A and B are shown apart, each in its own frame.
Chain A
Amino acid sequence: MAQTLFDKIWNEHVILDREDGQTLLYVDSHFLQDGSAPAFEMLRQRGVKPRVPERAFGTPDHYVPTDSRDLASIKDPEKRAMADALREDTAAAGIEFFGLNDPRQGIIHVVAPEQGMSRPGMLIVCGDSHTSTHGALGSLAFGIGASEVAHVLATQTLWQRKPRTMHVTLNGALHPGVTAKDIILALIAKISAAGATGYAVEYAGPAIDALSVEGRMTVCNMTIEAGGRAGMIAPDEATFAYLKGRPFAPTGADWDKAVAAWRALKSDPDAVFDREVVMDVGAIAPMVTWGNSPEEALPITGRLPQPADAATPEKREAMQRTMNYMGLQPGMALGDITIDRVFIGSCTNGRLEDLQSAAEVVRGRKVAAGVEAWVVPGSGPVKAEAEALGLDRVFKDAGFQWREAGCSMCLATNGDSLAAGQRSASTTNRNFVGRQGPGSRTHLMSPAMAAAAAVTGRLTDVRDLLGSR
């Protein structure tokens, strides 16, 4: 029978199927970050040790400071304990660990692909919902909860019910100034924040073929914002070129053997998916969100909706509540929204290509008066490569802060946050109420769009800046 990419990877990892519909799957790689402490605690309580430590890897990201590399500089003892617990837990278990003073440290979803740890055909899990990122390399990767993290540590396996499959075909070509981030925001706006719930989503089509592997990671990363269990893309020549020579990638004859196997990892032409979605990326303009759900995204040329036009009284009330929280007026032009802060970073958009595209906009310009703008590279190597290209100078000359790698203001758990009522142009993935600190107002967008907002002080169509040079 014809198989999807998802089926092929799933079947390779089945240990046993149970009559109640659950499958015990073997986990190739288990990624850990500094939110993993509760899972290690669960294991200790049971007196169970990690079973296959060589299949796990950890690096701290959520609680690390981004103004220094000094753990002692974390003043809150609970935060410091979180960042430090991972070091202790991995050391005790013999799990590979990149600590704060390791130049390879960074956001787990940036670090693992960058090191060649995420590869085609693998089954990857991590106690973090944005684990879907790794599917961009042709793996099946998804986020799990703390009990499941403990289960994987103890057994190297996970019980799962097979999700349904969705095929998203992206046709056409992106216009200049439009990026992978705009594709995924447009898709979520189209299918809704619950549109992919219960599905593993495979992205395909000419627009995916044309994306860099980094751009593909942005798309897979935000699949969870559409509710999807996993996002994935069949590996191709671009994937192989990306992986070749990375520290944890196979070498020599092993590499050739691996690539030969990876070439078979694609959906058969007549494979059937449970749902098909088709979108033309040529019709997409740079997107920004205005509300508190990623589905509340509009082209920058648009206006906020009118609650009065909402389908039901409840929807009208919900829309009004969102506008009140966001401090916005019904029907106002998105381009009239002024901002206080800019955040360029996160596992969605903290890779080199993202910083390059932002720097392209910033070069020779200045951060607008009254705006505080930050760049937080996704990993130590991203930071080093950007510095080798002189991007740090571009940002600093414009008035940006150039910081150390970590999750930072994406989730604000390390203390980097917006003040209540402040408004950000942010390259992150969630615009939830209070996500960037209590009372914070987040507008999601691409790195180029965030850069444009930084230099104008308002949400701005980056195409106007690119054209005017």
Chain B
Amino acid sequence: MEPFTKLTANALPVARPNVDTDQLLPARYLQKPRSAPFGDFLFRDLRFNADGSEKPDFVLNKPFYRDAKIVVAEENFACGSSREHAVWALYDYGVRAVIAPSLGDIFSSNAAKNGLLTIILPAPVVAGMIEALQAEPDLEVAVDLEAQTVSLPNGPAHLFEIDPYRKRLLLEGLDELGFTLTQLPAIEAFEKTYAG
């Protein structure tokens, strides 16, 4: 997994609440292996017509947002199912950070395991960022994981909180399973006395 430290990049404003994982990655792609081009399936039905042509009105199809590496979304982004494919779709498209006032629980934990940083900021801050990005699509958003800050050019640095564990996974590109396997003696000791 690629470590995440700092990122300054274009950002995609998603100005709608409750964008669910079915929108991020429609269920019909769940049967695809991890090697499939999940970036092409991101926002599939919002982005493309049934015949495969682009929907020009959808925000990701607008020129300035196409190479966005950051998503700034309204509340409850990526709610719904546990499909890790929703993370893969964002990641394969090139997105490395998602900023929102609130996020689906399982999505956040899936994200950290795949090198995608999720950031919670207060709703008014996020609303301000979305407005700024809509007004000036080529604005670059700067994310610094070490310092736990998000900022727009000439704007204040907004501090965000992150679970220290997730931070470490991301900063070091750490493989969680590898670490747990080093804890096997503790697991075995637990099992010896465990009645359940």
Within 1-39 of B, Cβ neighbours of A (below 8 Å) are at: 15-18, 20, 22-23, 26-28, 30-34
Is there contact, CB below 8 Å, between B80 and A430?
Answer: yes
Is there contact, CB below 8 Å, between A159 and B177?
Answer: no
**Closest A residue by C-beta to B15:** A314
Cα distance A63–B34 when bound, in Å? 18
Residue in A143, A159, A194 whose CB lies within 8 Å of B102: A194
Is there contact, CB below 8 Å, between A438 and B76?
Answer: no
Say yes or no for A156: interface residue by CB 8 A criterion: yes
Chain A interface: which size bin? 35 or more
Is there contact, CB below 8 Å, between A24 and B186?
Answer: yes
Within 371-397 of A, Cβ neighbours of B (below 8 Å) are at: none
Cα distance A368–B184 when bound, in Å? 61
**Closest B residue by C-beta to A438:** B45
Could you say which of A62, A129, A151, A321 has the most chain B C-beta atoms within 10 Å of its C-beta?
A129
Q: How many A-B residue pairs have CB under 8 A?
A: 164
Say yes or no for A208: interface residue by CB 8 A criterion: no
Say yes or no for A161: interface residue by CB 8 A criterion: yes
Is there contact, CB below 8 Å, between A155 and B34?
Answer: no
Total B residues in contact with A, Cβ cutoff 8 Å: 51
Question: Interface-forming stretch among A74-82, A212-220, A327-335, A340-348?
Answer: A74-82
Is there contact, CB below 8 Å, between B109 and A145?
Answer: yes
CB A163 to nearest CB in B, in angstroms, measures 8
Could you say which of A21, A159, A194, A321 has the most chain B C-beta atoms within 10 Å of its C-beta?
A194
Say yes or no for A114: interface residue by CB 8 A criterion: no
Given known A38-B33, A81-B31, contact A154–B181 (CB-CB < 8 A): yes
CB A63 to nearest CB in B, in angstroms, measures 7
Residue in B28, B83, B164, B177 whose CB lies within 8 Å of A154: B177
B27 — which chain A residues lie within 8 A by C-beta?
411-413, 435
Is there contact, CB below 8 Å, between B79 and A194?
Answer: yes
Is there contact, CB below 8 Å, between B28 and A129?
Answer: no
Residue in B16, B30, B83, B113 whose CB lies within 8 Å of A318: B16
The 5 A-B pairs of least Cβ separation, nearest first, read: A145-B110, A194-B76, A20-B164, A145-B84, A146-B84
Which residues of A are at the interface with B, using a C-beta cutoff of 8 A?
12-13, 15-16, 18, 20-22, 24, 26, 28, 35, 38, 41, 46, 48, 62-63, 76, 78-79, 81-82, 121-122, 127-129, 143-148, 150-151, 154-157, 159, 161, 163, 192-194, 197-198, 224, 227, 229, 292-293, 295, 314, 318, 321, 411-413, 420, 430, 432-435, 438
